[in-house]
Structure 1
Amino acid sequence: MTPAQIERTPFADLDGQPSEMTAMLLAALDEMGRHPEILRVRQTAVRALRPEAGQRLLDAGSGAGDVSRWLAAEMGPTGEVLAVDSSSATIAVARQRHDGSNVDYRTGDVCALDLAADSFDGVWCERVLQHVDDAERGISELVRITRPGGRICLIDTDWGSLAFDGVPPGLARQVMELMHGRLTPKQYDMGRTLRRRLVARGLTQVTATPVTCLFATPASAAVVLPMINPLVGQDAWMAPPGVRDEWFSHVDAAGARGDFLAVLTIWVVAGSVGQ
C-alpha cells in the first residue's frame, strides 16, 4: 500500500499499472512474503486455519501463489488448493513458478466468486480485504463457498496500530496522519474489524490473534512500511515540502544509533462455518 492512494491501492489494480510498476509491486510482495515478521503472521494463521490432509482449500487473493503452494504441501498429495487472484499478470507469474504441487491458478473476483456453494473445506484470505471495494460482500462470498464445518481464516492489517520510536514524536505523528488521511476506513482498520464480521455471520469457534510485527531497523521496516521505504518518492507522499527529507534524516539517524523501532499489528481471525 502506498500512502498516496485513497480509493484504490496499486495492489488492488495490478493489471491497471504500467508493466514496470507491476513488476516492482510483485517484487515488493515477494520480499514481504520472505520477511520474518510476515512469516510469523502466516505461521499463526495456518494454526488457526487447521488444514488437514485431503482437504480442498481456497487461497482468495493468492498473489504469486507462494502461500497456495505452502498450503498444498501442508496437506500432502491428497490435498488441493485453488489460488484465485484478480490480477491476470499475477496469476501468470504464479503459473510460471508452479512447483508441481496440487494447486490450480485462476483469475477471479473475491467479491463475486464463480464457485459453487459449500465446495471448499477452508479459505485463506491474507491482506486482501483492505483493498477490495466491498469487504462485506467479499466475506459473504467466502462463507458461501465454504462447506458447513469448514474454516475461514482472514488476515489483515490494522494501520491504526502503527507506532514508532527513535524519531521525533511530533514528526512521527505528522507522517502517520499523512498516511492515515489517505486511507479509506476499510484500509485503516480492517484487521481489528474481522472478528466482528465473522461473528455477525454466525461463525463459531472464532479466534482472533493480534500479531504485533516489530521492525528494529529501517531496512527491515522498509519491506512492509511504505513511509520507511526510500523508493516511495515525494509524489506518492503528497506531503509539504521538506517533510519527507526531514523524516528520512531522522529515520537514518535512528538506524545508525541502533534505537529505531516500528511496530504494526496484523490480525489473524478464523472461525468455523455453521453446520
Structure 2
Amino acid sequence: MKQMERTPWADLDGQPRELTAMLLAALEAMGRHPEIRRVRRTAREALRPETGWRLLDAGCGAGDVARRLAGETGGEVVALDVSAATIAAAVERHDGSAVRYAVGDLASIDLPAGSVDGVWCERVLQHVDDADVVIAELIRVTRPGGRVCLIDTDWTSLAFDGVPPALARTVVDDMHGRLTPRRADMGRTLRRRLVGKGLRDVTATPVTCLFPDPASAAVVLPMLNPGVPEDAWTTPPGVRQKWFSHVEAAGARGDFLAVLTIWVVTGAV
C-alpha cells in the first residue's frame, strides 16, 4: 500500500530551515488569535487541573500552553513534542516556570504508567499516523482518576461565504493532505475514541471559530494565507490568483466569512 504523504506539520524537522521557521511563527500567531484562545479557555475549563497537578502537554509546540498551565497550577508540566526544532524553540522561550521540555514519540511516551494527573493534547492527533495508539499512551501515563483533554479540528466543517462555493471547494480539496491533514474529521471522532477506551464522564464541546475578515482567517487557515509559498499549491494554473482575488473582494465588501469547528473532548481515566 502506498504510504500517505505527511504534512509539513507532521514532519517539522524534515522541512527546509526557512519553512520550519515559518511554521513555528504560524504556531505562535495562532496561539495569540482570539478564536484559538477561546478554544483554549474552553479546554482549560474542561480539564479542570487542580493546584499542584503534574501535567503532560503532548505535542507542546513552542510551549506556550505548557508554561501557562505551570503558572496557573504551580505543578510541573512535561512538554513533549516529536520535533527537536520545536522543542529548541520552546526552550528559547522558557520563562522559568516548572516546565520540563523533551523530544519524544507520542506513540511511545517515555513516562511511567500513572505518572501524570492530567494530559493536554491540542491539534496534534490530526497529524499522527495512528491516533488510537497515541490516545492509549496518553491514558497509560495518566493516573486513575486523572483527566485527559483532547482538542482537535474537524476540517470537514470548514465553510465560507462571500466567495464562489465551487472555487472554495477546489482550494480546500487541494490543501487537504498537504497543509491541512488527511484525517480531516479528527475533531468529531474524539468522543467516540475516548468512550471506546473506557474513559468515564466524557464530555464533548464543539467550538465554532468565526473569522469575519480574510486577515483574521489567514492566521489559522493556510488556504487564506498569501504567505504560503506558491509551490505548495497544486491547483490548476490561475486558480490561486482567482481565489485570492475573490477573497480580497469579499473582504473589501465586508461580507467575507469563514467558520471552522474545533472539538474539546475530556474524560476521566
* Range class of TM-score, shorter chain: over 0.9
For 1:72-83, what aligned pairs fall within 5 Å after superposition? Answer: 72-76=70-74, 79-83=75-79
Contact 1:195–1:206 (CA under 8 A) maintained in structure 2: yes
Give the 3-state SS of the residue equivalent to 1:53 in structure 2: coil
Give the 3-state SS of the residue equivalent to 2:183 in structure 1: helix
Q: 2:16 pairs with 15, 18, 37, which one?
A: 18
Which blocks of at least 5 consecutive residues in structure 2 are unaligned? none
Give the 3-state SS of the residue equivalent to 2:30 in structure 1: helix
Q: After superposition, what is the alpha-carbon deviation per residue over 1:63-118, rounded to whole angstroms, capped at 9, x for unaligned?
A: 11000001011102xx1100001111111111111111111001111111011001
For 1:1-16, what aligned pairs fall within 5 Å after superposition? Answer: 7-16=5-14
Q: 2:158 pairs with 162, 167, 171, which one?
A: 162
Q: 1:257 pairs with 243, 253, 256, which one?
A: 253
For 1:122, the equivalent position in structure 2 comes to 118
Give the 3-state SS of the residue equivalent to 1:90 in structure 2: helix
What CA distance in whole angstroms lies between the structure 2 residues aligned with 1:86 and 1:156? 17
| Amino acid of the structure 2 residue aligned with 1:57 | L
For 1:177, the equivalent position in structure 2 comes to 173
| Amino acid of the structure 1 residue aligned with 2:14 | G
Give the 3-state SS of the residue equivalent to 1:187 in structure 2: coil
Give the 3-state SS of the residue equivalent to 1:82 in structure 2: strand
Instruction: Report the number of matched residues.
Output: 266
Change in CA separation of 1:181 and 1:120 when aligned onto 2, cut-off 3 Å: closer
Is 1:94 equivalent to 2:62 in the alignment?
A: no
Q: After superposition, what is the alpha-carbon deviation per residue over 1:103-137, rounded to whole angstroms, capped at 9, x for unaligned?
A: 10011111110110011100000000111111111
| Amino acid of the structure 1 residue aligned with 2:6 | R
Is 1:224 equivalent to 2:220 in the alignment?
A: yes
What CA distance in whole angstroms lies between the structure 2 residues aligned with 1:156 and 1:99? 27
So what's the TM-score if we normalise by structure 1?
A: 0.93
For 1:3, the equivalent position in structure 2 comes to none
What CA distance in whole angstroms lies between the structure 2 residues aligned with 1:101 and 1:184? 32
Give the 3-state SS of the residue equivalent to 1:123 in structure 2: strand
Change in CA separation of 1:186 and 1:56 when aligned onto 2, cut-off 3 Å: farther
| Amino acid of the structure 2 residue aligned with 1:179 | M
Q: After superposition, what is the alpha-carbon deviation per residue over 1:223-246, rounded to whole angstroms, capped at 9, x for unaligned?
A: 010110111233212001111111
RMSD over aligned CA atoms reads 1.4
How far did residue 186 of structure 1 move?
5.6
What CA distance in whole angstroms lies between the structure 2 residues aligned with 1:256 and 1:18? 35
How far did residue 179 of structure 1 move?
3.0
For 1:210, the equivalent position in structure 2 comes to 206
Give the 3-state SS of the residue equivalent to 1:248 in structure 2: helix
Contact 1:7–1:184 (CA under 8 A) maintained in structure 2: no
| Amino acid of the structure 2 residue aligned with 1:80 | E
Change in CA separation of 1:165 and 1:244 when aligned onto 2, cut-off 3 Å: same
Give the 3-state SS of the residue equivalent to 1:105 in structure 2: strand
